[in-house]
Amino acid sequence: MNTNTKIYIAGHKGMVGSAIWRTLVSKGYTNLIGSSSADLDLRNQQLVAAFIAKEKPDVIIDAAARVGGILANNNFPYQFIMENMQIQNNLIDSALQSGVEKFIFLGSSCIYPKLAPQPLKEDYLLTDTLEPTNEWYAIAKITGVKTCQAIRQQFGKDYVSLMPTNLYGTHDNFDLNTSHVLPAMMRKFYEAKMNNHADVTLWGSGTPMREFLFVDDMAQSVVFALENKLPEYLYNVGTGEDLTIKELAETIQKIIGHEGKIIWDASKPDGTPRKLMDISKMHALGWKHQVALEEGIQKTYNWFLENIENVKKVKL
């Protein structure tokens, strides 16, 4: 790699894609390309193939996906499996057909079985059943991982998959209907604080354990994969540390300064009991996260406050 390597970041305006873009710019990369969803529908095979053939990138980073939490996955199972498969299949196949030598595919820890031993090792993929509340998204991402593995095996190209733990950070989605747990909590506590510190009701029991990675650390792992030829096809990316959802809620509550009560609605689903990533393979290669959870939540909240007018446009 050199700073003039032509890199296409699919999904460059999303939370992860924009963090990758910022990180590459900060490291001196000058030949980055992106396309908004308005300019290029990644679900359209012909359009994607034509775009890749025309632009001829040296590297493609796939940070594009339809994402959401338990509610969105439950409500839109067809879109979560179909649209994600369309997006990744179009990008991967177009990359192969256009001779792209390096492809970095981003997935999710939900690809692993619901009750897999903890921490989650890459070897646990496809060893048991998935968590039902997000299996549609997980199945799509598994096909992406295996497709990149197949190209690596059959054609010898450097196609690698990075599976991050739960991501959060600046430019996150704070829509309560489609967001993940951390930004949803942040918005709920903020709104409650503004409403005379009203009580906040959260889903589930608060007992499941989750691991969270600041999005800038995820971006650094992508750059690490970009600048090095990783020897295997699949790598976990995370912190190797987790906490209960209750502890997460209390941490966010403290940072925001909300003084009301937290009410747990145990009639709502908890999801997987625990999802801690084994990140020993990435550590062995030399990558490690830098941002601690409280620091990352504070940075995210600062961004949230600076962009509150845009956030408020998404109705509660």
pLDDT over 90 (residue 267)? yes
**Does 274 count as an annotated binding residue?**
no
Q: Is 137 a catalytic residue?
A: yes
**Does 59 count as an annotated binding residue?**
no
Edge to edge, the sheet with strand 243-244 lists 243-244, 209-210, 274-275
Please list the alpha-helical segments (H only) found in 156-194.
181-194
Q: Which is the catalytic residue, given 112, 137, 190, 235?
A: 137
Place of tokens 């490291």: 27
Q: Per the domain annotation, does 282 fall within a domain? A: yes
Taken as a whole, the chain contains a residue count of 316
Which of 191, 207, 163 has the alpha carbon at shortest distance from 252? 191
pLDDT at 314: 56
What CATH number is associated with residue 303? Answer: 3.40.50.720
CA distance 177 to 144: 26
Q: Do the beta carbons of residue 114 and residue 58 sit within 8 Å? A: no
Q: How far is CA 157 from CA 63, 104, 151, 177, 245, in A?
A: 19, 11, 7, 39, 40
pLDDT tens digits for range 140-175: 999 999 999 999 999 999 999 999 999 999 999 898
The residue range of the domain holding 144 is 7-312
Query: Whole-prediction pTM value?
Result: 0.92
pLDDT tens digits for range 213-263: 999 999 999 999 999 999 999 999 999 999 999 999 999 999 999 999 999
256's tokens: 């925001």
- What single letter denotes the amino acid at residue 310? N
Instruction: Please list the residues that pair with 243 across neighbouring strands.
Output: 210
Q: Per the domain annotation, does 54 fall within a domain? A: yes
46's tokens: 């012909």
**Does 187 count as an annotated binding residue?**
no
Q: Per the domain annotation, does 77 fall within a domain? A: yes
Q: Per the domain annotation, does 174 fall within a domain? A: yes
CA distance 213 to 243: 12
Q: Per the domain annotation, does 84 fall within a domain? A: yes
Task: Tell me how many domains the chain contains.
Answer: 1
82's tokens: 């179909």
**Does 203 count as an annotated binding residue?**
yes
CA distance 29 to 38: 25
Q: Per the domain annotation, does 1 fall within a domain? A: no
**Does 314 count as an annotated binding residue?**
no
CA distance 300 to 189: 14
